[in-house]
Amino acid sequence: MWSEVLVLATLTVGLSMGGFPYITPSTGNVWPKPQMTETQETYMVIRPEKFKFSVVGHDCDILQEAINRYKRTMFSGPTSPTLNPVWRKDEKFNGFLDEVSLNLMAECEEYPHQYMDEQYQIKIDSSDAPGNGTIISQSIWGILRGLESFSQLLLPAGSDFNVNSTQVMDFPRFAHRGFMLDTSRHYLPIKKIKDHLELMAMNKFNIFHWHVVDDQSFPYVSERFPQLSELGSFTPIHQYSAQNISDIVEFARLRGIRVLPEFDTPGHTRSWGPGQPELLTSCYKDGKPDGTYGPIDPTLDGNYDFLTSLFEEITERFHDHYVHLGGDEVSFSCWESNPNITAYMEAHNITGDYAKLEEIYISKLLDIIANLPNKNGYLVWQEVFDNGVKIAADTIVHVWKSEHIPIGWKEELEKVTEAGYRTVLSSCWYLNYISYGDDWYKYYECDPQEFNGTDTQKQLILGGEACMWGEYVDGTNLIPRTWPRAAVVAEKLWSSSAHTNDTNAAAPRLEEHRCRLLDRGYQVQPFGPSYCLSDVDV
Ligand SMILES: *[C@@H]1O[C@H](CO)[C@@H](O)[C@H](O)[C@H]1NC(C)=O
Ligand SMILES: *[C@@H]1O[C@H](CO)[C@@H](O)[C@H](O)[C@H]1NC(C)=O
Ligand SMILES: *[C@@H]1O[C@H](CO)[C@@H](O)[C@H](O)[C@H]1NC(C)=O
Ligand SMILES: *[C@@H]1O[C@H](CO)[C@@H](O)[C@H](O)[C@H]1NC(C)=O
Ligand SMILES: *[C@@H]1O[C@H](CO)[C@@H](O)[C@H](O)[C@H]1NC(C)=O
Ligand SMILES: *[C@@H]1O[C@H](CO)[C@@H](O)[C@H](O)[C@H]1NC(C)=O
Ligand SMILES: *[C@@H]1O[C@H](CO)[C@@H](O)[C@H](O)[C@H]1NC(C)=O
């Protein structure tokens, strides 16, 4: 009789499995992998109708919202068929876990920030508190990360859930774990941006880098310069109002995600032109303007007044202390054609040196940003550094080029950090480049600290960002194309380096995680021939 009971006890899903999926998923593993996990063979049972979180430390709106959210998330997804009730009589059963206490040991911070503490600890039925469950952290951000991990430890068992006796001690490897979306090449519906933020939180990303505007459209509604979106957005319905932006910033804040807005200049600004006459450089052909426009005209004082006012509004609205200033792919040919620019350069004794002209622009812009009321920090794309523009010492350089143009990303990181700049890597994580087959291996094997450099240089790597550029992406395919591939990058940025370059070891956990995200109701694409219990009904 005992042996039969024990066999039943090991059934967690209870469906008979057949077929030949490419990989057998793990069960009850947390993604991204925590720094330290200790799991026992004993387990407790959570009954959804009896379960509650109790707040035993500090409390705040972020915590209350998270409790409501996780009570839904934890118990979503398919339940497994009811098991024989005798299974809870086995010797590994350590009782019911009806309460998990949330012990926040310091006051809540209101907004996530660059130096936020995300460390946390989970104890379920530990030897020093048998039968109890606790999530402990010094900061609200750690409690959020801990709740996510806890929710991933649950295994469906009948209409209840099992959780093994487990201890987790966890913190991120990198502070900057970002995801970039582009809302200029296509408009992304607010609902999809929120789904994306929710998925980011489930993968412990902490920065939403929002590439709001670009050549193709200007969906940002400015209060000070309403003509920018009136004349620069695709249509009046393809816009983000002040209300829409604060809605997104709030949604992100509650999940411990910073919103880092990018307003890329002086190039990539075609859509800015109609709403702000004189901003862009007129390109000349055969001695007259040819009707086309180039980068922002750096020679006109009025343009800096405009930028001061616009960025003041932007940095208030997005709230983060950082702003991404772009600076990539500035084409010099239009500047070269324009006689006024030529005259300006002669007057400033920089004839022919267009990189110098770019430097004049960028350094004025950096000054503007640094002197805004919020004392903002900034990121720039790597070209600003590559072109030899003198940049402030606290600039963060965003490395994005992948191949050997002119050098590979490892050499680029070496140079940027040798010059003493902090940096963020995206080169290997352009998820918009898609291909047939197992493309996630290369994301997993790329390591931002794997370059020739001293320890001091490696400390300057703040982390990385996955990117999804929008030329071929809108609301229809954003989620399935981005997820679960982005989860691979999430683990690289969160988990310790030693654990995270073995794709064979990761695959079963990744497969479990993909099913978890699908079970939670997101349209996340598969990695290979496989199944999830919820895929019959997507
Ligand atoms: C969790 O508990 C179950 C039931 O006792 C056991 O079969 C399983 O091996 C445990 N998991 C781990 C990772 O120890
Ligand atoms: C276990 O939880 C109970 C109920 O919340 C509490 O009274 C008790 O102090 C806890 N024990 C330990 C060792 O934390
Ligand atoms: C965006 O903001 C406008 C008002 O500024 C509002 O009417 C609209 O409902 C908002 N959209 C969403 C999806 O919240
Ligand atoms: C060039 O400068 C002249 C004289 O200041 C001005 O009239 C003209 O509008 C400028 N052209 C452009 C394209 O900025
Ligand atoms: C102009 O630039 C040249 C070379 O950069 C330099 O030698 C010269 O002193 C400069 N002249 C003035 C007036 O700044
Ligand atoms: C690192 O340095 C070694 C030895 O100088 C060299 O062989 C290798 O190519 C370098 N790697 C990179 C990525 O620069
Ligand atoms: C994985 O990490 C180990 C230890 O740091 C290293 O020796 C190995 O080369 C790495 N493998 C890959 C594929 O990067």
For residue range 438-463, list pLDDT tens digits in order.
889 999 999 999 999 999 999 999 99
Pairwise CA distance, residues 397 & 460, whole Å:
10
Q: Is the pLDDT of residue 265 over 90?
A: yes
Q: With beta carbons less than 8 A apart as the criterion, state whether 317 and 242 touch.
A: yes
Half-sphere exposure of 226 (CA within 13 A, CB side): 4
The string of pLDDT tens digits covering residues 268-296 is 999 999 999 999 999 999 999 999 999 99
Of 59-68, 299-308, 325-334, the range with the lowest mean pLDDT is: 325-334
Mean of per-residue pLDDT scores for the chain: 93
Q: Which string of DSSP letters, residue by residue, matches 187-239?
A: ---HHHHHHHHHHHHHTT--EEEEE---SS---B--SS-THHHHHHSSSTTS-
Residue 336: which pLDDT band, with cuts at 50, 70 and 90?
Answer: very high
- Helix ranges (H only) for 56-158 are 61-74, 140-153
Mapping DSSP onto H, E and C, the string for 35-80 reads CEEEEEEEEEEECCCCCEEEECCCCCHHHHHHHHHHHHHHCCCCCC
Across the range 14-26, mean pLDDT stands at 80
Binned at pLDDT 50, 70 and 90, residue 14 comes out as: very low
Q: For residue 298, which ligand has an atom nearest its CA? A: 4
Query: Would you state the pLDDT for residue 2?
Result: 36
Confidence at residue 76, expressed as pLDDT on a 0 to 100 scale: 85
pLDDT of 530 above 50: yes
Which residue among 444, 492, 501 has the greatest number of ligand 7 atoms within 8 angstroms of its CB, and so is best to mutate? 501
Distance 49 CA to ligand 2 centre (A): 21
Q: Kindly list the distances between the CA atom of residue 274 and the CA atoms of 233, 280, 331, 425, in Å, as whole numbers in the listed order.
A: 10, 9, 20, 34
- pLDDT recorded at residue 502: 92
Is the per-residue pLDDT at 38 higher than 70?
A: yes
Q: What's the gap in Å between 335 CA and the centre of ligand 4?
A: 13
For 195-238, write each residue's pLDDT tens digit.
Answer: 999 999 999 999 999 999 999 999 999 999 999 999 999 999 99
Look at residues 315, 214, 328 and name the one whose alpha carbon lies nearest to residue 258.
Answer: 315
Say which range, 291-295, 499-503, 533-537, has the weakest mean pLDDT. 499-503
Question: Taking a C-beta distance cutoff of 8 angstroms, is the pair 272, 280 a contact?
Answer: yes
Instruction: Please report the domains of the chain, with CATH numbers, ordered by start residue.
Output: 5-171 (3.30.379.10)
| Mean of pLDDT values over 2-26 | 60
Q: How far is the CA of 293 from the centre of ligand 7 (A)?
A: 48
The verdict on the CB of residue 132 being under 6 Å from ligand 2 is yes
- CA-nearest residue for atom 10, ligand 7, is 501
- The secondary structure of 495-528 as a DSSP string is S-GGGSS-HHHHHHHHHHHHHHHHHTT--PPPSS
How do strand 396-399 and strand 422-425 relate by DSSP bridges? parallel
Beta-bridged to residue 289, according to DSSP, are 284
Which among 4, 329, 346, 471 is annotated as catalytic?
329
129 Cβ closer than 6 Å to some ligand 2 atom: yes
Residue 491 is a catalytic residue: no
Q: Is the CB of 246 under 6 A from ligand 3?
A: no
Q: How far is CA 341 from CA 198, 345, 352, 387, in A?
A: 47, 6, 10, 19
Question: What span, in angstroms and rounded, lies between the C-alpha atoms of 441 and 439?
Answer: 6
Asked whether residue 40 carries a pLDDT value surpassing 50, the answer given is yes
User: Measured from the CA of 128, which atom of ligand 2 is nearest?
Assistant: 13
User: Which atom of ligand 3 lies at the shortest distance from residue 247's CA?
Assistant: 14
Whole-number percent of the chain with pLDDT over 70:
94
Q: What distance in angstroms lies between residue 9's CA and the mean position of ligand 1's atoms?
A: 10
Q: Please indicate whether residue 26, judged by its CB atom, sits closer than 6 Å to ligand 1.
A: no
Which residue in the block uniquely carries the two structure tokens 């600004």? Answer: 269
Q: How much is the pTM?
A: 0.94
Ligand 2, pocket-test mutation among 132, 134, 136, 167, most atoms within 8 A of CB: 132
- Residues lining ligand 4, Cβ inside 6 A: 282, 340
Counting from 1 in the atom list of ligand 7, the atom nearest the Cα of 450 is: 14
Please work out, in degrees rounded to the nearest 5, the angle formed at the alpha carbon of residue 237 by the alpha carbons of 236 and 241.
85
Nearest atom in ligand 3 to the alpha carbon of residue 241 is: 5
Q: Which residue of 452, 457, 458 sits with most ligand 6 atoms within 8 Å of its CB, as the best mutation to test the pocket? A: 452
Asked whether residue 391 carries a pLDDT value surpassing 90, the answer given is no
What angle separates helix 354-370 from helix 301-318, to the nearest 10 degrees? 50
- 391/103: higher pLDDT: 103
The larger pLDDT score, comparing residue 225 to residue 437, is at 225
